[in-house]
Copies of this chain bind each other. A is one copy, B any other.
Amino acid sequence: MLRAGPSQEEIRRHNLGTLLRHVHLGGPTSRAELTNRMGLNRSTIMALTADLTAAGLVREELPRDTGRAGRPSLVVRPESARVYVLAFDVGVDRVVAARIGLGGVILDRRETVRPRGRFDMAEVVGILAGFAAQMQRKVHSDTVCVGAAAAVCGAVRKSDGVVRFGPNIGLRDAPFGEALSAELALGLPVAVGNDANLGALAEHTRGLGVGCRDLIYLHGDVGIGGGIIVNNQLLGGAAGYGGEVGHTVVNPGGQPCGCGARGCLEAEVGERALLEHAGRFAAERGRDGIRLVVEAADKGDIIAQDALHRVGDWLGYGVANLVNIFNPEVVIFGGTLREIYLGSAAQVRSRLNTCALSASREALRLRTSALGDDATIVGAAELAFTQVLADPLEVLAARLSG
């Protein structure tokens, strides 16, 4: 708030990053459109584009037939095949690695199912690094990896990426990013983020939240995570643990939660609660178990319907509280909460109508994730692209010389 104005060099750097971000998020964009959107003159846009082209971050080409007379404006495209990041996602039941190109293109991807109940960080890091090595062997020699990041279902310290608390994957005070970076041996740090936070980032940049200043993303896995965008920025809090809405208490004295408290949103709405209410806890698990309950309810199974209604009611309390606190434009349900929300939307809306202030909910939209199961890994990729978008030429030069 109290900073002075930027220098000329900072402005140029900012403009280079802004232009690159435009084509990264918006795809191929004409120079005329960039001139228009960035509010700069044509010669500045041309100079910025020339710098990014020379660095191999974008290329210019004639657009496909525009259907209009006159000389068409050149189109600036991200060099998606050449410039990429490594993105990782560590969930309870699966781990995923992907190579994602500038512009958000998933170029390659590896995934494996993991057994529950035990979590050996070294083992998971080994699997992910192995996936990365497999993918790296297939790339051309003129490509460049400009960043790496991982989504983890736990509370992550902002300053160093240590996973402070991830009970569903058995992590506590684990230097996950450092370990993965060492195993990758690419001379790259691995940024680490909470999976729901990164899901929110993905929906905000490439999903249903594009253009929204204020949104809430709720992610269901075994537990419930939250990612919140306030005024176009991800809510991190003082140390990075913000957004732990799964551990807000909606039902004092209710179901015991893995965090030690009772009646947390996660305990009342998470996988275990739904499967227990449906009488299926011993038999089924994971995303498939939840889908079976929702399908059974669709087909008229009264026990399954009742189970969904019960968790939907608590989900409604949680959402209503968040709506009163944040007055968001949209609440997005991702992961297993997509199915749970679809099966209990009436309960959620009913509770919202009784508990959220009418002013706070009058323009609210409730939606299911546009990115589906990819939300978290796409968000990890966006985190990995942060640095190159902040200072494109410096970061690229450092990576090429490294």
Contact = CB atoms under 8 A, between A and B. Distances in A.
A21 interface: yes
A46 interface: no
Range class of the A interface residue count: 35 or more
Interface string A348-361: 00000011111110
A306 to B, nearest CB: 18
Contacts of A259: 357
Interface string A18-61: 10011001000000000001111000000000000000000000
Given A5-B15, A15-B4, A230 B235 contact: yes
B238 A324 contact: no
Contacts of A238: 212-214, 327-329, 363
A6 B12 CA distance: 10
B252 A325 contact: no
Interface in A56-92: none
Interface string A225-261: 0101011110111111111110111111000000111
Determine which residue in A38, A249, A327, A359 has the highest number of CB atoms from chain B within 10 A of its CB, and name it.
Answer: A359
A118 interface: no
A242 B18 contact: no
A241 B327 CA distance: 6
A35 B357 CA distance: 47
B251 A252 contact: yes
A138 interface: no
Nearest to A226: B325
A10 B4 CA distance: 12
A2 B22 contact: yes
A397 interface: no
Contact of A360 (B15, B237, B324): B237
Contact of A240 (B6, B38, B327): B327
